[in-house]
Chain A
């Protein structure tokens, strides 16, 4: 008789025979396997007709789930493809294409305890709200101070990782929202330490720059359905335009910028340091720990960047645009919280950063949705997937040069609004490194 037990993120297999993926653990005199292989181990035991007792899964009892969700054609196709793949796999849909609905339908059909893993607290709130609304039940949450366990539970990646040992045997279905986060060395352990046989990954961007997506088939299942932005634009999503406005720094800013940036470039030239790749840059950063000059150079560069990003000229330009778009719903993105608060104070626009109390953040988003607020200024916290409906104009005031970030931010304002064209306006300081970051973003 083989005994299967869940032991702190792994499968504990006591018995005379080994199983696939099982390794002998001399510390406890038993076989042990990663929890992710639970279905494979079970299938092997069944197939080989080996008697066993399964104490590994401890699923929470689930009431019968039913919802009012009606899927669009492409959503239905995505769901079918996922079920055809055995209830495992990654679905790629552009932001705002209703990935959530595909997941809701899957939960309803499987009717098993389900964990939804999300990258941000905003998404945590959003999923919780949608799940409890659709299924009419209380939804558990881990992250941002919550820890309640329910048959349907939403967790941040961090909490799901930290709590893997305790939660890993409780769910039969696990959904990774923004699944491109998963293949990181630590987060991938979430997939490995939970037994859930059914897995769904959702994202708008399958590829990772570090090639990590090659690990997704093992962790979640292969790519089962993909639809690009262009396929939806105009039909389900509003089309958008993108403009880049170059702003001249004020002459004072220009002087300060050049002075600071020169400190940086002089250092590089003097020490013959070349910064060609992110790795070069990382090495330079490490140098700043022991070399005070390098540190000063780095600080000067940061100050220069800040002058460009926080430029007075951009604030002025933004003010002019606010007058122009006085009837539109507006989202303003900046890189630094400091600038968020400056804009909020100057234009009296509601602000959201990681420091915003959770209740207030929720209230702000709800009021924005309801049209009681017309604009929100925010740093990067809204980056992913948060449902901020029908904003028609977006401003970018500085940001890091990642192409994914660009897509996600874009997605935020791509909401279907009949007869309306969404605009994304990027304010970039002329003749600074920032123009280069902006170019990189479009690659």
Chain B
């Protein structure tokens, strides 16, 4: 964030936008020049650095741009006083002496006071003069400077400009992909209030503060500005803010930004991981162990928010399979009230299946009766897999039955020549087991079922024809027969060969040393 005097904006009707520094050669050059200057002044006085930087303000660029960059670079400097003996102590001594002698109003009298003080402190007068106000900012020495890439600096400048403009905002709306948990946690931490609704298949969130209800005010602008970096850490985002400006009169302007146009020119240097970030070791440990099991369930970190009444719930994990989602919430610290509120929330949701893992050591009191919807498991140190796997298995069985019933009840149109249960399940967004059951019971006109695979009867005939042609020319190995089947667009050759009434005679374990017979020949 920058001082508001350095904010450059452009207004068109009711739209307002910061004047961003493009990532062009000129802007990057001046950024590079500044970075180099700061690096060069390590070990030198801050006052001298300031003077040099002031000189760079008149190179034909907007001085606010140059000053904005140097404001950001100032924050990467560490300053320290040069003097070894404290200036405060030196001043105390000087003033003590000057009080005794009376304020010197001639250079000679002044010299006398300083001479006496220097003697008392065992310093030279020159040292004394240097230390006198050696702790003022200008006299401090740049001890350290943390360099930065020019591009990153300009991008951070653009982000800071935006944040500075958001100082004047009354509310902020955004849509984004992912990062939800952190965004909502930050909203809560910043003391803001959100409203969430569905839009275009995703969610749109409006953020303001409690007092926004009473009148337009910019009280939450700083907080809204602080939220921005977390939002733009996503690959895709869209932000819209209302900006309250007083220019003669009160005007409400709109700031609109999105990742496609502005994602490239802004970045936050305090970067956190874009990928999975775990809040605790417990969660990380759980994710690792679960993934190692290959259950067929996909583990999702921070699934999409679940709107509950006017709040949202973002469970820590989602397990997805066959179009179904089971949620897991890890409650580290919790109270019965916290869990009760959870249950209240869950009651409002149909079809939401949630497991809550509560830390036994951190339990405030024993919890016996909880709402029926809450699948509560306790853990100590690590979250046990067994009850979760049991739950998932039970869910899967129950779900498979339900889906089977549903699939049997409705007509299914197939187009594919060959299709396996796994593919069909994926296509229909249901469990594989459900499809297998359906295949057993349902007759598909024009198809033949081979195990959990369906194949068109016309295709089978075509394959048979090719095999017969080949067999008429001499003996045929399994290996070659398989190729014929697959070339014709079939799958699982052995199943097809068997179904067509061929027999495979093995002479060893090598598919080459096999012979395909017509069944009647045996």
Interface pair A192/B211, CB less than 8 Å apart: yes
* Residues 319-354 of A at the B interface (beta carbon under 8 Å): 319-320, 322-323, 326, 341, 344-350
Interface pair B102/A326, CB less than 8 Å apart: yes
Q: Is A29 at the interface (CB under 8 A from chain B)? A: yes
CB distance from B225 to the nearest CB of A (A): 14
Contacts A289-B8, A360-B88: A189 and B217 contacting too (C-beta < 8 A)?
A: yes
Q: Scoring B residues 85 to 104 as 1 if CB is less than 8 Å from chain A, else 0, what string do you get?
A: 00010011011111100111
Out of A23, A320, A373, which one reaches B105, CB within 8 Å? Answer: A320
* CA distance in complex: A289, B9 (Å): 10
List residues of chain A with CB within 8 A of the CB of B97.
Answer: 348
Interface pair B105/A375, CB less than 8 Å apart: no
List residues of chain B with CB within 8 A of the CB of A363.
Answer: 92
List residues of chain B with CB within 8 A of the CB of A346.
Answer: 110
Interface pair B210/A10, CB less than 8 Å apart: yes
Out of A326, A348, A355, which one reaches B95, CB within 8 Å? Answer: A348
CB distance from A65 to the nearest CB of B (A): 32
* CA distance in complex: A26, B103 (Å): 68
Contacts A347-B105, A360-B88, A375-B103: A32 and B210 contacting too (C-beta < 8 A)?
A: yes
List residues of chain B with CB within 8 A of the CB of A372.
Answer: 96, 99
Question: Taking CB as reference atom, which chain B residue is nearest A349?
Answer: B103
Contacts A322-B103, A346-B110, A349-B103: A189 and B211 contacting too (C-beta < 8 A)?
A: yes
* CA distance in complex: A9, B99 (Å): 51
* CA distance in complex: A156, B136 (Å): 24
Interface pair B211/A348, CB less than 8 Å apart: no
Interface pair B105/A319, CB less than 8 Å apart: yes
Interface pair B133/A341, CB less than 8 Å apart: yes
Out of B94, B110, B213, which one reaches A23, CB within 8 Å? Answer: B213
List residues of chain A with CB within 8 A of the CB of B95.
Answer: 348-350, 373
* CA distance in complex: A375, B219 (Å): 42
CB distance from B166 to the nearest CB of A (A): 16
Q: Is A34 at the interface (CB under 8 A from chain B)? A: yes
Interface pair A8/B195, CB less than 8 Å apart: no
* CA distance in complex: A165, B214 (Å): 15
CB distance from A311 to the nearest CB of B (A): 17
Q: Is B122 at the interface (CB under 8 A from chain A)? A: no
* Residues 178-202 of B at the A interface (beta carbon under 8 Å): 191, 193-195
List residues of chain B with CB within 8 A of the CB of A23.
Answer: 213-214
Question: Taking CB as reference atom, which chain B residue is nearest A371?
Answer: B99
List residues of chain B with CB within 8 A of the CB of A28.
Answer: 193, 310
Q: Is A186 at the interface (CB under 8 A from chain B)? A: yes
Q: Scoring A residues 16 to 41 as 1 if CB is less than 8 Å from chain B, else 0, what string do you get?
A: 00000001011111001010000000
* CA distance in complex: A100, B365 (Å): 50
List residues of chain A with CB within 8 A of the CB of B214.
Answer: 10, 23, 34, 192
CB distance from B223 to the nearest CB of A (A): 10
Interface pair A348/B104, CB less than 8 Å apart: yes
Q: Is A158 at the interface (CB under 8 A from chain B)? A: no
Q: Is B137 at the interface (CB under 8 A from chain A)? A: yes
Q: Is B63 at the interface (CB under 8 A from chain A)? A: yes
List residues of chain B with CB within 8 A of the CB of A25.
Answer: 213
* Residues 292-340 of B at the A interface (beta carbon under 8 Å): 309-310
* Residues 363-398 of A at the B interface (beta carbon under 8 Å): 363, 372-375
Out of B64, B88, B113, B133, which one reaches A289, CB within 8 Å? Answer: B64
Interface pair A10/B104, CB less than 8 Å apart: no
Q: Is B132 at the interface (CB under 8 A from chain A)? A: yes
Out of A27, A185, A192, A347, which one reaches B310, CB within 8 Å? Answer: A27
CB distance from B503 to the nearest CB of A (A): 74
Contacts A9-B211, A27-B310: A189 and B219 contacting too (C-beta < 8 A)?
A: yes
List residues of chain B with CB within 8 A of the CB of A34.
Answer: 211, 214
* CA distance in complex: A28, B211 (Å): 13
Binding site for B on A (CB under 8 A): 7-10, 23, 25-29, 32, 34, 165, 185-186, 189, 192-193, 279, 289, 295, 319-320, 322-323, 326, 341, 344-350, 355, 357, 359-360, 363, 372-375
Please provide the 8 A-B residue pairs with the shortest distance between their CB atoms, ordered closest to farther: A348-B98, A319-B105, A10-B210, A347-B103, A8-B210, A350-B95, A8-B191, A360-B88
